[in-house]
Structure 1
Amino acid sequence: MSKLKIAVQKSGRLHDDSMKLLKDIGISIDNGRDQLKASARNFPLEVFYLRNGDIPQYLKDGVVDVAIIGENVLIEKGNGITVIEKLGFSSCRVSVAIPKGKKYVSVQDLEGKRIATSYPNTVKTFLEQHQVNANLHIINGSVEIAPNIGLADAIVDIVSSGSTLFKNGLKEVDVLLNSEAVLAISPLITEANKTLLDQLQFRLKSVLRAQQHKYVLLNVQNEKLEIIQNILPGMNSPTILPLAKEGWSSLHSVINKNQFWEVIDELKRNGAEGILVCPIENMVL
């Protein structure tokens, strides 16, 4: 029986978020400590635990069919690999950082400078786009220390909170690209495994869609129903149910989490009472 082969990062935050996502879509993984490969109990799926930087080559070679990987790694090493879904977690950016006491006005200030980075292809493309010449020092890990030991004038590395830069006396001055976890597909995936991937992606979409919304229940006087209904359009329109209390109804609807508090405030101003908010596990359209 065919099995879909998926690669995830061996350890770290991206690994943890990837495994949680697989769990959220109902896939149970039998994996023990330090295993490099594991099978799912309830879906034809094998999980490969790999170094993040190695995953693009495994995709190119067809060793794995799909991967959950940082978009920044694909941009650096995954030429020809297609992203089929953005997953909305493990957000970061690839940025230029320099010592706090140094001045930076624009990318032109990097002309002739020494830049330490683990992302040489990304940096070269960025510099070429701005017609800037600089000297690259390729470092795998601990890039932040390079300016402090006199190896570089600036660094280009991934940044999440910026705390690591701060601890090393650096400041972020320019952003090359923004990144998040994505689902990427091998160009060599078989037709049989494309069918399995469609099933997996269907589950992913329902969970990711649910994460962007909240389910809301509220009570309102019937005379205010039209106003509240205009505030709460829902997927097509709100569900309206009569309450035992005469002249009152209960409305059920869905709110995009990015508009949540604004909508709740407007509901309250227009007479909504007893507002309940519930998370949504899956949203199937």
Structure 2
Amino acid sequence: MSTLKLGIPKGSLQNATINLFEKSGWKINVNDRSYFPDINDETIACSICRAQEMSRYVESGTIDAGLTGKDWIEENESDVVVVDDLVYSKVSANPARWVLAVPADSDIRRLEDLEGKKIATELVNFTRRFFEQHGINVKVSFSWGATEAKVVSGLADAIVEVTETGSTIRAHGLKIIHELMQTNTRFIANREAYADPWKRAKIEQIILLLKGALRAERLVGLKMNLPLDKKETVIALLPSLNAPTIAGLHNTDWVSVETVVDTRAVRDLIPRLLQAGAQGIIEYNLNKVI
């Protein structure tokens, strides 16, 4: 029996990844004492490894496929197949950003002001290439954790750090002066593994269901009853993927209407539906939308 060796990112993305797989139909059980979690699919063998190293393992063939950030693929300059973008994170559905930050009271306001300065970051190779491309001479040093403290303690003039909201950077008394890169999660594959018909089909199955689960996170189902003479008025208010489903209620001149809408629209939509004559409105979550 063929097996796909799948890498799950350790660290901040681990829980979000496992939750996404569960919504997609794969239950991954992580044991803190093992880097090889169980999964309810005998054709998949899971491994846990740091997102920073994932693309290296995939490139070497140690892992057939895995999830990591665009940032670490570029940092490692890995030769892998980027199969798909999967926009999810530990905080929000927005891409994370690698930004250049300096103390709030610093005289450094532009990239050019960093000429000859020290920069601390975990994204060393990418940062060096970035400043070389801009013709600015800087000293880039590796920082593993607590990067913001390097500026506060005077060990660096600036940092290049990843953020989703910028709140942690501001909380440390820093200001963002430039964005270097946006990054999101990517599903990558080893080139030889992706050329294998069975493994490629398995990867495509996983991605299909992962993307269906991600799409479902932004949508909810709505179901309601309404008098037949209110049907056109209510339907005019309803967004949907295609068109709402309408069914007659037994022995009445009422109908049941069901549709799928964006979660952000629901709070404003429900009061309008009630005013238009809808009753018994039910909102429910979705697991997957394919």
Structure 1 residues 196-205 or 50-59, which shifts more?
196-205
Query: Could you tell me which residue of structure 2 aligns to residue 52 of structure 1?
Result: 51
Q: Distance in 2 between matches of 1:267 and 1:110?
A: 56
Alignment RMSD, CA only? 2.5
- Which structure 1 residue ranges, 5 or more long, are not aligned? none
Question: Secondary structure, in 3 states, of the residue corresponding to 2:54?
Answer: helix
Q: Distance in 2 between matches of 1:265 and 1:13?
A: 38
- Decide whether the 8 Å contact of 2:121 with 2:147 is kept in 1: yes
Structure 1 residues 157-166 or 136-145, which shifts more?
157-166
Q: 1:39, CA displacement in angstroms?
A: 4.1
Mapped pair 1:117 → 2:116? no
Summarize the Cα distance change of 1:29–1:5 in structure 2 as closer, same or farther, 3 Å threshold. same
* TM-score, structure 2 as length reference: 0.86
- Which structure 2 residue ranges, 5 or more long, are not aligned? none
After TM superposition, the structure 1 = structure 2 runs for residues 145-224 of structure 1, keeping only pairs within 5 Å, are 145-189=149-193, 190-224=196-230
Mapped pair 1:2 → 2:8? no
- Decide whether the 8 Å contact of 2:54 with 2:67 is kept in 1: no
Q: 1:205, CA displacement in angstroms?
A: 2.5
Q: Distance in 1 between matches of 2:56 and 2:17?
A: 19
Q: 1:161, CA displacement in angstroms?
A: 4.4
Question: Secondary structure, in 3 states, of the residue corresponding to 2:59?
Answer: helix
- CA displacement, residues 43-92 of structure 1 (integer Å, 9 cap, x when unaligned): 41111111222111101111111112123222322443314131422353
* TM-score, structure 1 as length reference: 0.87
% same residue: 27
Query: Could you tell me which residue of structure 2 aligns to residue 85 of structure 1?
Result: 85
Query: Could you tell me which residue of structure 2 aligns to residue 253 of structure 1?
Result: 259
- Decide whether the 8 Å contact of 1:85 with 1:184 is kept in 2: no
Structure 1 residues 235-244 or 12-21, which shifts more?
235-244
Query: Could you tell me which residue of structure 1 aligns to residue 18 of structure 2?
Result: 19
Query: Could you tell me which residue of structure 1 aligns to residue 31 of structure 2?
Result: 32
Structure 1 residues 20-29 or 61-70, which shifts more?
20-29
Summarize the Cα distance change of 1:126–1:269 in structure 2 as closer, same or farther, 3 Å threshold. farther
- Decide whether the 8 Å contact of 1:4 with 1:193 is kept in 2: yes
Query: Could you tell me which residue of structure 1 aligns to residue 71 of structure 2?
Result: 72
Q: Distance in 1 between matches of 2:46 and 2:197?
A: 19
- Decide whether the 8 Å contact of 1:238 with 1:253 is kept in 2: yes
- Decide whether the 8 Å contact of 2:24 with 2:287 is kept in 1: no
Summarize the Cα distance change of 1:105–1:225 in structure 2 as closer, same or farther, 3 Å threshold. farther
Summarize the Cα distance change of 1:71–1:257 in structure 2 as closer, same or farther, 3 Å threshold. farther
Q: Distance in 2 between matches of 1:28 and 1:226?
A: 43
- Decide whether the 8 Å contact of 2:56 with 2:78 is kept in 1: no
